[in-house]
Structure 1
Amino acid sequence: MELDLGAVRAFLAVVDDGHFTEAADRLGMTQQAVSKRIARLESDLDVTLLTRSRTGAALTEDGSAFLPHARALIGLADQATSMLRARRRPLRIDVLARVAAPMDLVRAFYEAGDVDVDIVVSRGDTDRHTALADGSVDVAFGRVTGALPAGIECVPACLEPIPILVGRRHRLARRRSVPMAELAATTAWMPGCGGESEWADYYRRLGAEFGVVIDTSGPVFGGEHVMDEIAASADLVTFGTTRQFPVHPGVVQVSVTGPTPVYPWSLLWHAANRHPAIPLLVAHVQARHRPVDPRSQWLPDRAPVSGSRRSGSRPAPPTGP
């Protein structure tokens, strides 16, 4: 004997609502259709599951005995359906910002395979660990700096070089690169990069290490305003790339060397998430990751690229990788 799941659902709806009419409304069916399904179920089982009266429907002794099995049966069916739907849906990826290195990694991953992706640009407005735990996103990129919550896994993803942007009247404007030591006592204007964000922590450490003044003053009026101010100044610089800001004829990008500051991106996901594309993306990231070269690159600490489980803070400001 094979049970009709639709009939079992109708039975549960009547039990939960207490009336055939209300159960029919919830199921989007007619009362007659619900009655026929339950009658067929009772016939298949050769028992009476419900008693009907003017006040509603009530379980019989056989109905009470069948009820937990009916709930378990529908629960398993729903779980199987959800699992299959999850396997077919796009992989939801929080890249944090569209103009950072993770976007390049995700694009290469998409173009190299047949996995559909759904790009999420949170800008740090939501906690990544919560989003990973509740399934709002499947994977997320960010800087990892402390102990991760239970269940969160991570691998180092990439190291993004950070150049400077200067106006054409700046003394460094004609240089292709500048040693980090030469930026000592230079003011790097980073509006919006204050507080306790992962970006703010990174640039505070960079400033302390190399004697760069990190100025986070002033409201954030957008990338155009930042570029206008940099272009108009013969002294200010900002850390970032030309891809992050609107094109400005008065601003040029200069590489930083000896060492080059790099931003350590990690890929994070929740261990309970069984989306089949997660292992594929993890493998893609691991195959392309290159460890830090301490002779030519600088990190505020080595932990973010070690592969150990650590967490990051939020949010990301408008400037930075």
Structure 2
Amino acid sequence: MDTEAVRSFVRAAELGQLQHAADELGVTQQAISKRIATLERELEVRLFTRTARGVQLTLDGQAFLSHARSIVAGVDRAVTAVRPGSRALRIDVLGFRTAQAVLLHDYWRSHPETDLDVVTLRVNDPHEVAAAVQAGDLDASFRTVTDPATLPRDVHMIHAFDCPLELLVGPRHPLASARTVTPAQLRKLRIWVPGIAPRSEWGEFYDQLATAFDLRIDAAGPNFGNEVLLDTLADSADVATLASARDRYVWPTTYDLRRIPIVNPTLVYPLSLMLPRTNPHPGLRAIINHFATLTPVPEPAWLPSWARHHAAAPTASRTPDTE
């Protein structure tokens, strides 16, 4: 079996676009298509269906993906074993404007000697990401399995840092001039969070948040990305959304969007880091210690049920042994 064809399949599955996989692997889209077609003929199954937005795994493709990741990770480990030096620290983030990516970039700017490979694994189920960590395809991932008992035995999960939420609204929204808002003031508002994915930790987070404060979280419609969401907020007098205070959003100055802190209590989205239980990448220690220096979220604070035990424990005390 051609391992480069397997690698091409894995990256196309994770990125959802043949062209994106081709760009990352330094080949043409036609080469990626030929590799995958050859692999499908060898396996005698169809791995992808084409859609208007890219490619989507078939049931056979889904069944093959975890095994394919293991093949790629095994090849990478074999090459690393005989190649001088070691590969970059590979960390999965949800997106390049998320708090995880922003803080990693801040760390890297202060430590440019750090060899970082920041990737976005495009899956919603954190158990799939845990499998990638277990296979060695990732050194760490900012994902949370809300029931740690369901983690693979050789994958460890630690608390990384907390993100206070803000209300994001356009200039015509009734709360646009507020300096702060409380959760009670958010009741009956339309809080639009499109594309909340089943089996994701953020899906469970919003379920608990809505129940705790009697909020109207509207997940209707497909997620067309932050740009469309920001366009909608700028034009609307009644739509709002929730955003992490640490996320980086960019919009035209004419939008005049407002980021309003939520207080009494502060609503907190906790970020965890999944990594191998034994022999984690040595570059992780310094990054985790960096997170421990972040300014704590304002009290009082609300956290989802799976993270409340973290509130009393400093992050540094949970730093894994990378020696």
Alignment partners' CA distance in 2, 1:143 and 1:213? 24
RMSD of aligned C-alpha atoms? 3.0
Aligned residue number for residue 95 of structure 1: 93
Aligned residue number for residue 268 of structure 1: 274
Alignment partners' CA distance in 1, 2:231 and 2:133? 38
CA shift in 2, pair 1:96/1:85, >3 Å: farther
Shift of residue 170 of structure 1?
1.0
Alignment partners' CA distance in 1, 2:107 and 2:81? 23
Alignment partners' CA distance in 1, 2:188 and 2:77? 60
Alignment partners' CA distance in 1, 2:124 and 2:187? 33
Residue 206 (str. 1) matches residue 209 (str. 2): yes
Shift of residue 216 of structure 1?
0.8
- Partner deviation per Cα, 1:70-98 (whole Å, 9 max, x = no partner): xxxxxxxx989734748522100112222
Aligned residue number for residue 36 of structure 2: none
For the pair shown, the structure with the greater C-alpha radius of gyration is: 1
Aligned residue number for residue 114 of structure 2: 115
Residue 279 (str. 1) matches residue 288 (str. 2): no
Alignment partners' CA distance in 1, 2:277 and 2:84? 15
Using the size of structure 2 for normalisation, the TM-score is 0.62
Alignment partners' CA distance in 2, 1:134 and 1:149? 11
User: Is contact 1:86–1:275 with CA below 8 Å preserved after alignment?
Assistant: no
Aligned residue number for residue 129 of structure 2: 128
- Partner deviation per Cα, 1:45-64 (whole Å, 9 max, x = no partner): xxxxxxxxxxxxxxxxxxxx
Shift of residue 270 of structure 1?
0.9
The letter for the 1-side match of 2:259 is: Q
CA shift in 2, pair 1:245/1:215, >3 Å: farther
Alignment partners' CA distance in 1, 2:98 and 2:285? 22
Alignment partners' CA distance in 2, 1:154 and 1:290? 22
- Partner deviation per Cα, 1:159-213 (whole Å, 9 max, x = no partner): 1111111121111111121112111121201111152321111111111111110
Secondary structure at the counterpart of residue 255 of structure 2? coil
Shift of residue 132 of structure 1?
0.5
Secondary structure at the counterpart of residue 182 of structure 1? helix
Alignment partners' CA distance in 2, 1:274 and 1:87? 16
Secondary structure at the counterpart of residue 177 of structure 2? coil
Aligned residue number for residue 35 of structure 1: none
Alignment partners' CA distance in 2, 1:184 and 1:216? 16
Aligned residue number for residue 188 of structure 1: 191
One of 257, 268, 283 as aligned partner of 1:251: 257
Aligned residue number for residue 171 of structure 2: 168
CA shift in 2, pair 1:217/1:138, >3 Å: same
Alignment partners' CA distance in 2, 1:79 and 1:197? 30
Shift of residue 243 of structure 1?
2.7
Residue 288 (str. 1) matches residue 293 (str. 2): yes
CA shift in 2, pair 1:194/1:216, >3 Å: farther
Secondary structure at the counterpart of residue 175 of structure 1? coil
Secondary structure at the counterpart of residue 240 of structure 1? strand
User: Is contact 2:99–2:248 with CA below 8 Å preserved after alignment?
Assistant: no
The letter for the 2-side match of 1:279 is: R
Query: What is the count of residue pairs matched by the alignment?
Result: 229
Alignment partners' CA distance in 2, 1:302 and 1:289? 21
Alignment partners' CA distance in 1, 2:84 and 2:186? 50
Aligned residue number for residue 224 of structure 1: 227
User: Is contact 2:143–2:272 with CA below 8 Å preserved after alignment?
Assistant: yes
User: Is contact 1:223–1:246 with CA below 8 Å preserved after alignment?
Assistant: no
User: Is contact 1:155–1:267 with CA below 8 Å preserved after alignment?
Assistant: yes
- Partner deviation per Cα, 1:142-175 (whole Å, 9 max, x = no partner): 2341122201112211111111111211111111
Alignment partners' CA distance in 1, 2:163 and 2:84? 32
Where do 1:62-73 residues align within 5 Å? none
Secondary structure at the counterpart of residue 142 of structure 1? coil
Residue 234 (str. 1) matches residue 237 (str. 2): yes
- Partner deviation per Cα, 1:214-270 (whole Å, 9 max, x = no partner): 111122233232223222322221112583364461522211111111110111111
